[in-house]
Amino acid sequence: MIRLKVIFIVLLFITLMHGYNYSQISIKLGPMLGLTSPTLDYSGDAKDFYAGTGYGLRSGLNYGVMAKLGVLSFNGRFSVSYCALDNDGNSDPSNPNSTVHIENNIVLITIGPEFAFSIPKSPIKPYGGIDLLFSSFSGLFKFQGTADVSSDQTTIQSSSRTGLGLSIGSEIMFGNINLDLSIRYNLHNLFSKSYDSPNTNNRIDAYTNINDGKDPNYSATDKKHPIGIDRTIATIMFQLGLLFGF
């Protein structure tokens, strides 16, 4: 489903741009590298993961490729990136010997417009943009000595979410090569949240999916269903790109 959405958007974008004079169009493509920092409910520590209030992740590197199709001061931007986030720590504050290791992987596809602001006689071109986000989440976790959950390594099932991102940045031009610096704020699950887990009535089921929606069986007195709120998956990305003009 996520591939069909991306293909449809790309084809629509190409169709809209087809009527322009090709001499006005610039195409840039290149690699990017950066840092992804989880924020809101996606951040925190290992105790938040066990409690079901957050995901308890820390920052990690991201890398990928991006392309820009430009007409005058307007760019259409498309990118595919991957980042890996993890954390370790005490899982249950009532038991200092309990631990958990968490890993999350995100494949992020973005597409959207950018609007640039030229500075006379300067190679620097600031811009602002908005992205439609398609995110695929996967990962694993492993508890040790923690109440109500097993100590085996467990896979987090792959899940897809749709959201929006906002960006500010700048391109610095060196002939046909542009250095692209940006800060991007991503709300990965703005349009989609759900709770999905096996109906086995075990606490560990709460962690085997991304589970950003409230558990319909949540009760403050039931330790087997800890996720009592909808959770927002958000990241801040610092990215450096190298774009080659064609």
Burial of 142 (0-12, 13-18, 19+ CB in 10 A): middle
Q: How confident is the model at residue 17 (pLDDT cuts 50, 70, 90)?
A: very low
| Range list of β-strands (E), 51-176 | 60-71, 74-90, 99-116, 124-144, 153-174
Is the pLDDT confidence value at 71 over 90? Answer: no
Q: Calculate the alpha carbon distances from 113 to 22, 110, 187, 233, 244 in Å.
A: 19, 10, 17, 23, 19
Query: pTM for this one?
Result: 0.87
Nearest to 182 by CA among 194, 196, 168: 168
Name the CATH topology of 2-245: Porin (2.40.160)
CA torsion, ordered 122, 26, 171, 233, to nearest 10 deg: 150
Residue range 54-62: average pLDDT?
98
Q: Which residue has the tokens 């084809």?
A: 11
The pLDDT value recorded for residue 3 is 57
Is the pLDDT confidence value at 228 over 70? Answer: yes
Instruction: Copy the structure tokens of residue 115.
Output: 């609007």
Lowest-confidence region among 10-14, 161-165, 169-173, 191-195? 10-14
